[in-house]
Structure 1
């Protein structure tokens, strides 16, 4: 697997604020990475450093295995880290022609990218007539004109209505399907869970988790119900694999410290004379895992 970006022990201080605190992770070709964290967690600062618009305090990063200087490497990167900024009285097509001149890209790319983001029918409309969602989609088209190896997006759905959010997410999936690597920063758990294959969880500038989205939400729990839930909960206190038991909304929620088969749990309870009316094994959502991770960080 080709490594697109390597970040090692990256730090950024703004006077007393340690905005990026010893951050390390790798971006590999062909995946969709989410940098997930609440506002002020250091996501945008990290992106600014790797895009050479914010100076790091210490640490290092290398594009494409360190085979080229940052300014050369950035020619293979497409990025949107601020609100789209185009000429309001020019058409979408003419705005993208200007971007092509700056990037040295062929005009032939313009219609292809407008088609991808669903704006081909509005290519001759002035930018000022575009909705916020359309402006964001035009910005994505602009970032793709040079066929970058990686597309970087900072909070791509911020401020959009539900339809606009869905359109952006669909476009991200389409771009990823072409093999383009994507790195997006978001404070929305739902966004990362729906479009990303990998996630870096940041809080107060510190990496709390890095790995697959499936890996962070791999823990499972049982949702149980019986005629008498208090007897059910009492019977489970002797089951060696059970790590915690709580009653919630009429169910007994059981977490385990090792893999347990539903059939084994059911059999154990039946032998104790407790017959279940409800047994479902659920995976913890990314939201639950995220809240657990961030609550463990004490500083």
Structure 2
């Protein structure tokens, strides 16, 4: 599979602040990547570096197997890293014609891209009459005009209402389905879980996880347990190879599985050990629970 972008030990310091620290990951063609982390985790800085907007301090990155200069590579990239900025008194079509001239792209692309983002019927409306969601969709159309191999989006649904968020996510899925690689930065776990195939989790500029979203949430889940013999239950779980992390909150014991176990088999086993459960629920972990585990385990 072709490598679109490889980032190697990238570091960016702003004075005493290290915004990105020894970051490495690779983006392969045809996937949707999410850079996930809270505000201040280094997502936008990372995108700024690979787009030549921010200078790196250390490390390096290569576009398209390193066979082309960054300047030439960026001609094959579409990016939205700031709020959409078009001329308010011009129509959507007029604004996109300007972008076509800058990118040296034929005007014939305009209707095709407006249709993708659902704005073809509003092509003659002035930009200032657009809602925030429509402005964001026009920005996506603009970024697609040069038929980029990769589309980069920084917090694409920020500030939008639920309908606007849904529309943007559906558009991202449609673009990806046609083979365009996508890299999006988001602080929303829900967004990454619904849209992305791969995720890089950042916290304070440090990578906590990199890999497939489904592998991150393909753990064997966990049991939520209660028993009148809580201490004996915890001791048994901690010594049992099938269990990893054990969390206790008041009377509820949460036991994360290292391997699949059926709840009825587990219940029977505990009974044979003289432990009777008053509560037993088996659940799968969501990306949010995985994310919280990652960030909990990496506190400074």
Q: Which residue of 1 aligns with 2:23?
A: 23
Q: Can you list the C-alpha shifts for 1:253-276, whole angstroms capped at 9, x where unaligned? A: 322344333343133135457777
Unaligned runs of 5+ in 1: none
Q: Which residue of 1 aligns with 2:60?
A: 60
C-alpha distance in 2 between matches for 1:117 and 1:244: 44
Unaligned runs of 5+ in 2: none
Q: Which residue of 2 aligns with 1:230?
A: 228
CA contact (8 A) 2:143 2:151 kept: yes
1:267 and 2:268 aligned: yes
C-alpha distance in 1 between matches for 2:233 and 2:129: 65
* Pair 1:8–1:279, CA change in 2 (3 A): same
C-alpha distance in 2 between matches for 1:287 and 1:46: 23
* Pair 1:151–1:69, CA change in 2 (3 A): same
Deviation at 1:155, TM superposition (A): 0.5
TM-score, normalisation: structure 2: 0.91
Q: Can you list the C-alpha shifts for 1:90-125, whole angstroms capped at 9, x where unaligned? A: 100111111111111121111111111111111110
Q: Which residue of 1 aligns with 2:125?
A: 125
C-alpha distance in 2 between matches for 1:125 and 1:18: 44
TM-score, normalisation: structure 1: 0.91
Q: Which residue of 1 aligns with 2:166?
A: 166
Deviation at 1:290, TM superposition (A): 1.4
C-alpha distance in 1 between matches for 2:17 and 2:69: 29
Q: Which residue of 2 aligns with 1:191?
A: 191
Q: Which residue of 2 aligns with 1:73?
A: 73
Q: Size of the alignment, in residue pairs?
A: 296
What is the CA RMSD across the aligned residues, in angstroms? 2.1
Residue aligned with 2:236, SS: coil
C-alpha distance in 1 between matches for 2:17 and 2:277: 53
Residue aligned with 2:228, SS: helix
CA contact (8 A) 1:233 1:245 kept: no
Q: Which stretch of structure 1 is more off in the superposition, 108-117 or 253-262? A: 253-262
CA contact (8 A) 2:230 2:251 kept: no
CA contact (8 A) 1:235 1:272 kept: no
C-alpha distance in 1 between matches for 2:232 and 2:292: 28
Residue aligned with 1:159, SS: coil
Q: Which residue of 1 aligns with 2:104?
A: 104
Q: Which stretch of structure 1 is more off in the superposition, 137-146 or 93-102? A: 93-102
CA contact (8 A) 2:228 2:278 kept: no
Q: Which residue of 2 aligns with 1:146?
A: 146
CA contact (8 A) 1:35 1:202 kept: yes
Residue aligned with 1:238, SS: helix
